[in-house]
Amino acid sequence: MRLHMAGGPDYAYRLDQALTEDTGAVSSAISALVLGSGADGPQDYTRIFYESYADTDIGWEEGVKIWINFGDNVPHDCDLNEGVPGKSGTWTTGGDPGRDEIMGTEDDLDLQTVLADMAANDIILMELHTTSYNQEYWDYWTGMTGGATFITDSAGDDLVDSIVDAVGEAIRHIDSLTLEASAGYEGWLSSVNPAEYTDIYIPEEGVDFEFEINICVPEEIECGLHEFTINAVGDGATLTAQTVAIDVPCCVEGGMARITPRTINKCSMGNWVTGHITPPPGYAGVDIVAASIVSINGIAVDIEGIVNAPCCGEADKAVVKFDNDAVVEYLPEPEDSSAGKGKPGRVQDVEICIVAELADGAVTCILCDHVDVINECAGT
């Protein structure tokens, strides 16, 4: 709650109730207000507008903020005509001394500067005015913040309707609409297209906006059910949200992988590097439906294989073929260790790790094997 009077025991600003969902507390604060009148016509609106972003106790949340001013006059300012279309000359109603209440000091307030700062802090000024006198001024001042002026000369339900209409109109325009995942799941939302919609108006009946999104489960995430929301965020405020539930399967232990050839020649013209996978206990070779190499020599990769099952008439194994060139790209380069004999060098115990997907939706834990690497080309 804010009072802005002038003269006598009145004061420029006091916060009687911070933002709250407790309507009883708001009603009590309003009922405790006392009309002090004042000694002149212009009011201390400039100071009130300044406190909309300077008073950290107000309790704003992120997003668009709406500041409703109930007024019947003009602010104190050294030149009300500044910037107002069609106005010339200087109209002064006396400056605003700011928080120290002493004119001529560093914290004196300028109306136009304060309104620009409100806009910079995403605060929309809505003016509910009891008269159309000087409305062109209020139209300009509220417009600087993206707000508007509403004339009301009544009380009761009509006044309430005017306030509701004013707030509703203010929040219908959105500068930027984006999608965001809820806290802790931001990295799961790997791409959004388009990245945002800009300068949009939301009618009372609502409107649809289409986004194409990709959700990727990060590596080494804890298995189990993960629930989060994809939030439609307009100018920093969450407008609506969609719940997403992803069941990350836990890995099944007990499998084994063997890579052939046991020595991989980087200069080979072969097509495949082959993984012979023994599934975990309780599964057969035919239960392996997909497999990927996930790391080579400690480097994270994602090389999908082609599954052929069962292996060599053995129902307990599966054969997965991986593109030779894709694998060789990540293998270390052997150095010549032959001391002038022209023989190729060899890198021993290069680790290749595989994860296989099982027919029931589970996945194996990481299965690793070790091979040697050479780089011996024909004719060398």
Per-residue pLDDT reduced to its tens digit, 192-241: 999 999 998 888 788 899 999 999 888 778 888 999 999 998 877 788 89
3 — pLDDT class (breaks 50, 70, 90): very low
Distance separating alpha carbons of residues 152 and 167, to the nearest angstrom: 14
CB 136 within 8 A of CB 86: yes
Residues 259 and 244 in one domain: no
| Distance between CA atoms of residues 279 and 276, nearest Å | 10
Is the preceding peptide bond at 279 cis, omega within 30 degrees of 0? no
Domain with residue 97: its CATH number is 3.40.50.410
Q: Is the pLDDT of residue 59 over 50?
A: yes
267 and 355 in a single domain? The answer is yes
In a domain, 53, yes or no: yes
Q: What is the pLDDT of residues 291-322, one digit of tens each?
A: 999 999 988 899 999 998 565 666 688 999 99
pLDDT computed for residue 171 by the predictor: 73
The predicted-structure confidence for 21-55, as pLDDT tens digits, reads as follows 999 999 999 999 887 766 678 988 999 999 999 99
Q: Assess if residue 9 is contained within a domain.
A: no
Tell me whether the omega of the peptide bond preceding residue 280 falls within 30 degrees of 0, making it cis.
Answer: no
Section 266-291 average pLDDT: 92
Alpha helical stretches, state H, the chain: 23-31, 45-54, 111-120, 135-143, 157-172, 324-328
Query: What is the Cα–Cα distance from 159 to 325, expressed in whole angstroms?
Result: 74
Does residue 379 lie in a domain region? no
H/E stretch holding 163 reads: helix 157-172
Q: Considering the domain boundaries, does residue 185 fall inside one?
A: yes
Tell me: do 334 and 233 sit in the same domain. no
> What is the distance of C-alpha 335 from the center of its chain?
48
**Mean predicted confidence (pLDDT) in 152-167:** 68
328: amino acid identity, one letter: V
Residue 9 confidence (pLDDT) = 60
Report how many domains make up the chain. Answer: 3
Q: Return all residues near 314 (Cβ < 8 A) that are at least 6 apart.
A: 285
**CA geometry: angle at 254 spanning 249 and 258, to 5°?**
110
Write down which residue in 194, 213, 248 finishes a domain: 248
pTM of the model: 0.52
Q: Are residues 283 and 341 in the same domain?
A: yes
Mean pLDDT, all residues of the chain: 87
Average pLDDT over residues 344-352: 90
Tokens of 96: 């605003």
- Kindly report the number of other CB atoms within 10 A of residue 245's CB atom: 8
Can you give the residue range of the structural domain that contains 192?
A: 175-248
Residue 8 lies in a domain: no
What percent of the chain has a predicted confidence (pLDDT) above 90? Answer: 58
Question: 276 is written with which tokens?
Answer: 């012979």
Question: Does residue 147 share a domain with residue 63?
Answer: yes
242 and 288 in a single domain? The answer is no
Q: Which of 248, 268, 297 is the last residue of a domain?
A: 248
pLDDT of residue 313: 61
In this structure, are residues 55 and 94 in contact, taking their beta carbons and an 8 Å threshold?
A: no
Q: What is the pLDDT of residues 74-110, one digit of tens each?
A: 999 999 999 999 999 999 999 999 999 999 999 999 9
Per-residue pLDDT, 7: 45
Residue 304: which CATH number? 2.60.40
pLDDT at position 93: 94
Q: Are 12 and 50 in contact (CB under 8 A)?
A: no
Domain match, 255 and 236 both: no
Q: Give the number of other Cβ atoms within 10 Å of residue 177's Cβ.
A: 19
Amino acid identity of 157?
D
Does 164 fall in a domain?
Answer: no
Percent of the chain with pLDDT over 70: 89
Return the amino acid letter for 2. Answer: R
Please indicate, yes or no, whether residues 134 and 186 belong to a single structural domain of this protein.
no
Q: Please report whether residue 10 resides in a domain.
A: no
Domain final position from 248, 264, 287:
248
Is residue 28 domain-shared with residue 105, that is, in the same domain? yes
**Within this chain, do residues 240 and 261 fall inside the same structural domain, yes or no?**
no
